[in-house]
């Protein structure tokens, strides 16, 4: 890659080279500008890698091969001619993510089937089965026994709560306890993080909690830069900015008529389309085995810990730190 990289660097302006150095040294800790490079002659592509693939392979993913494995992040304005100049394109390696694909699941720790409800197994207490929340306040810590006997407060959006123009609201949970208020998102994208050197968004480190177990503190220590949620044409995307996997589930990640739960593992540096607005209309009455009805316009994201049939944790309420994304239904 050395000769190809040197040839590309000679085509970049000095200010773009300086920006590239800052981006690489900070490892994408801040939302930087575009590094624009000439597109080149398409007839010469076979003699080398496209600029964005070359730099992503050089500074981020050595096993990267093709440009279709990459996705422009929502704040990149120099992709696909979006900057207004078709002769150049962005090759900032931290303006791209890799596309997450479903992996072959490991053998399940516990076999879960649709017959569980008919076998007298007590359904788990989950946010999808809660009573409607009347006040937008964070839930305080309670005894586990009382949580098992009473439903959790419902954070589902009603039409009266979406008149302020937000496209989603975020609820942060630690096991079965919601911490802090709902966070309304008005911009097209939002960062959710514990530690972020530069930038703004939903900072989980600022949320108070009377008590946190060792497991919660360990999980929170893995959130770091967290994730970037963005509303894009057709759906919602999640980009994993942390150094640990995140696990995502939504009604539109499961195939139509599916009996089980689909939980997608998104590795660091990867993006996934976690919600499809068009498919959501076909999920009316959608429910999970052992959990009951589920909000068809919601996304659940667990930090560092997976759940579902292929994990020791069967329900997301068994995860130390997780996020509930409550979507405004498009009109």
Give the percent of the chain with pLDDT over 90. 41
Rounded distance, CA 78 to CA 90, Å?
A: 5
If you average pLDDT over residues 154-178, what whole number do you get?
Answer: 71
Residue 40 confidence (pLDDT): 62
Residue 103 confidence (pLDDT): 59
Q: Are residues 72 and 215 in the same domain?
A: no
If you average pLDDT over residues 263-272, what whole number do you get?
Answer: 94
Q: Kindly state whether residue 118 falls inside one of the protein's structural domains.
A: no
Q: Are residues 190 and 309 in the same domain?
A: yes
Which of 1-10, 38-47, 146-155, 170-179 is the most confident on average? 170-179
Q: Kindly state whether residue 241 falls inside one of the protein's structural domains.
A: yes
Split at pLDDT 50, 70, 90, the class of 285 is: low
CATH classification at residue 236: 2.60.200.10
If you average pLDDT over residues 213-229, what whole number do you get?
Answer: 94
Q: Are residues 198 and 317 in the same domain?
A: yes
Q: Are residues 90 and 174 in the same domain?
A: no
How many domains are there within the chain?
2
If you average pLDDT over residues 213-233, what whole number do you get?
Answer: 93
Instruction: Check pLDDT > 90 for residue 104.
Output: no
If you average pLDDT over residues 220-226, what whole number do you get?
Answer: 93
Q: Kindly state whether residue 83 falls inside one of the protein's structural domains.
A: yes
If you average pLDDT over residues 244-271, what whole number do you get?
Answer: 85
What is the average pLDDT score of the chain?
76
String of b and e for 237-272 (b: at least 16 CB within 10 Å)?
bbbbbbeebbbbbbbbbbeeeeebbbbbbbeebbbb
Q: Are residues 56 and 203 in the same domain?
A: no
Q: Which of 38, 68, 99 is the last residue of a domain?
A: 99
Q: Note the pLDDT tens digit of each residue in 23-34.
A: 999 888 888 889
Q: Kindly state whether residue 182 falls inside one of the protein's structural domains.
A: yes
Structural domain harbouring 67: 1-99
State the pTM of this model: 0.76
Q: Kindly state whether residue 125 falls inside one of the protein's structural domains.
A: no
Cβ proximity of 251 and 280 under 8 Å: yes
Q: Kindly state whether residue 110 falls inside one of the protein's structural domains.
A: no
């Amino acid at each position: 890659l050395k000769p190809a990289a040197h040839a590309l660097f000679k085509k970049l302006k000095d200010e773009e080279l300086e920006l590239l150095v800052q981006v690489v040294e900070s490892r994408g800790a801040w939302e930087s500008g575009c590094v624009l490079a000439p597109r080149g002659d398409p007839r010469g592509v076979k003699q080398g890698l496209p600029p964005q693939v070359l730099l992503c392979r050089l500074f981020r993913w050595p096993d990267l091969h093709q440009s279709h494995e990459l996705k422009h992040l929502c704040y990149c304005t120099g992709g696909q001619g979006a900057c207004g100049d078709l002769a150049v394109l962005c090759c900032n390696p931290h303006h791209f993510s890799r596309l997450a694909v479903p992996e072959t699941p490991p053998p399940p720790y516990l076999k879960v089937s649709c017959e569980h409800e008919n076998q007298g197994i007590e359904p788990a207490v989950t946010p999808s089965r809660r009573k409607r929340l009347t006040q937008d306040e964070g839930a305080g810590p309670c005894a586990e026994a009382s949580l098992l006997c009473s439903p959790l407060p419902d954070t589902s959006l009603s039409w009266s709560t979406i008149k302020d123009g937000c496209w989603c609201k975020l609820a942060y949970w630690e096991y079965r306890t919601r911490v802090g208020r709902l966070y309304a998102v008005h911009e097209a994208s939002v960062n959710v993080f514990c530690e972020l050197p530069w930038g703004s968004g939903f900072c989980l480190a600022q949320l108070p909690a009377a008590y946190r177990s060792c497991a919660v503190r360990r999980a929170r220590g893995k959130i770091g830069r967290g994730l970037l949620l963005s509303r894009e044409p057709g759906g919602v995307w999640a980009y994993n900015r942390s150094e640990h996997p995140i696990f995502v589930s939504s009604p539109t990640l499961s195939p139509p008529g599916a009996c089980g739960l689909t939980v997608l593992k998104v590795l660091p540096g990867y993006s996934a389309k976690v919600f499809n607005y068009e498919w959501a209309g076909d999920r009316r009455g959608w429910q999970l085995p052992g959990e009951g009805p589920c909000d068809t316009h919601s996304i659940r994201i667990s930090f560092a810990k997976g759940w579902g049939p292929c994990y020791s944790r069967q329900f997301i309420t068994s995860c130390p730190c997780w996020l509930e994304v409550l979507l405004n239904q498009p009109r």
